[in-house]
């Protein structure tokens, strides 16, 4: 299965996405995104009403929220709450990965189960 450029380029959090592209990528309309901005669930990087741009880091949680909206028939206010929680979970997972990278791991893990049988030496 070939990966399209649009599937991996939004992973860069420094990349900016305009509102129409974000709506297309997340299967939402521009008016729905406007409503999410009004609720405070989405914060544009460039806040001009005609040229709103968002960070690409909002794409994965917004896609997940859009998928859950379609599956459970949720309204946009509920999606705004859900989107906040999904973004918080992603942030906490990143912090956990960062902290785990600084913890020294033991060179060998303790062996579980019975010890191996050894012939006594004389």
**What CATH number does residue 61 fall under?**
1.10.1660.10
Read off the pTM.
0.71
Using DSSP's 3-state secondary structure scheme, residue 46 falls into: strand
Token output for 51:
């040229």
Report d(CA 75, CA 82) in Å as an integer. Answer: 11
Residues 17-30 pLDDT 10s = 999 999 999 999 99
- Residue-level length of the chain: 122
Task: Give the residue-averaged pLDDT of 23-47.
Answer: 93
Domains held by the chain: number: 1
16: containing domain: 9-100
**Rounded to whole angstroms, how far apart are CA atoms 32 and 4?**
26
Average pLDDT, the chain: 84
Instruction: Please say if the pLDDT value at position 8 is more than 60.
Output: no
Distance CA 110, CA 108 (A): 6
């Amino acid at each position: 299965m070939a990966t399209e450029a649009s599937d991996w380029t939004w992973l860069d959090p420094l990349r900016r996405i305009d509102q129409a592209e974000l709506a297309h990528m997340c299967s939402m309309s521009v008016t729905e995104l406007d409503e999410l901005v009004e609720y405070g669930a989405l914060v544009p990087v460039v806040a001009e009403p005609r040229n709103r741009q968002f960070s690409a880091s909002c794409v994965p949680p917004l896609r997940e929220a859009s998928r859950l909206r379609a599956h459970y028939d949720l309204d946009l206010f509920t999606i705004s709450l859900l989107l906040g929680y999904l973004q918080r979970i992603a942030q906490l997972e990143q912090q956990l990965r960062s902290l785990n990278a600084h913890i020294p791991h033991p060179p060998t893990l303790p062996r579980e189960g019975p010890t191996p049988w050894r012939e006594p030496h004389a």
